[in-house]
Amino acid sequence: LTEAALGARHRELTRLRTLARDRSARDQAGLVVIDGPRAIDGALARAASIETLYVDVEAHGAAADVADRAAAGGIAVHQVAPGAIARAGDVRANAGVIALARRPERPTRDVLEHGDRWVVCAEINDPGNLGTLMRSAEAAGATGIVVAPGSVDAYNPKTVRASAGAVFGIVVLEEYIVTVLNDLAAHGVHRIGAVSEGGIAPWDCQPPGRVAVVLGHETRGLSGLPVDELVTVPMAGAAESLNVAMAGTVLLFDLFHRAESA
């Protein structure tokens, strides 16, 4: 790779940095920043529309491998100067590979009428937790995840990375929480709210076939949102609480399995 070719990437990398850091720039461009080999692999496995992949000329191992797979799949792969990706990405400094994908088409609220398993995030502030929940939701068989405005951006690069590609594997609906909860009720979906205390144990819950699990703020909880039932993961010992991603993972697997057996 010539100095000139490396230099020519400069403007693209500046754009990449802006997209990685600025939600409104991402929204306007309709692009998703996918950081690191695992998330890119996950996106490829789910047939995400990856437009461009940037890989460090000195990348090796998983980063080089995923770039090879992307190139073999017809994706434009650009090599960039050593360290340039670490400076462009805001997420994990040394992954050595970063991709830009087209954002999946935004669904409308009508999507809630279909599908039997929903996850509703009322107020998840940590992008890593939201991404972990997306990964668990997909693995547990969710139709989709609702990300209310009180939560972090569903396409935050840290969320995308933690989702390991799951953000491309399930429906992602960004919509007001009360509207969603009312719609779900109107469509006959049983709304189960997760709270850190005062709910019944998930294994004492008998959900019907169609169910939505509603996850609130780490400490403020659900703040009186309209749900049909409250569940709490019982905790032993001095454990005050699991984080919302871990508690949510336990609940999604348990409750979706119970709903399936209903």
Report the interface residues with its own copies, using CB under 8 A: 42, 45-46, 132, 135-136, 138-142, 165-166, 169-170, 201, 203, 233, 235-242, 245-246, 249-250, 253-254, 257
- For its own copies, the closer of residues 6 and 242 by Cβ is 242
Nearer to its own copies, 72 or 239 (CB): 239
Least distance between its own copies and beta carbon 256 (Å) = 9
Nearest approach in angstroms of CB 149 to its own copies is: 26
- Residue closer to its own copies by CB (options 19, 233) is 233
Least Cβ distance, residue 29 to its own copies (angstroms)? 25
- C-beta of 178 vs 235, nearer to its own copies: 235
Distance CA 70, CA 142 (A): 28
Least distance between its own copies and beta carbon 221 (Å): 17
Q: Which is nearer to its own copies, 136 or 156 (CB)?
A: 136
The nearest distance, CB 138 to its own copies, in angstroms, is 5
Closest by Cα among 5, 33, 7 to 18:
33
User: Among residues 80 and 133, whose Cβ is nearest to its own copies?
Assistant: 133
To its own copies, the closest distance from the beta carbon of 61 in angstroms equals 14
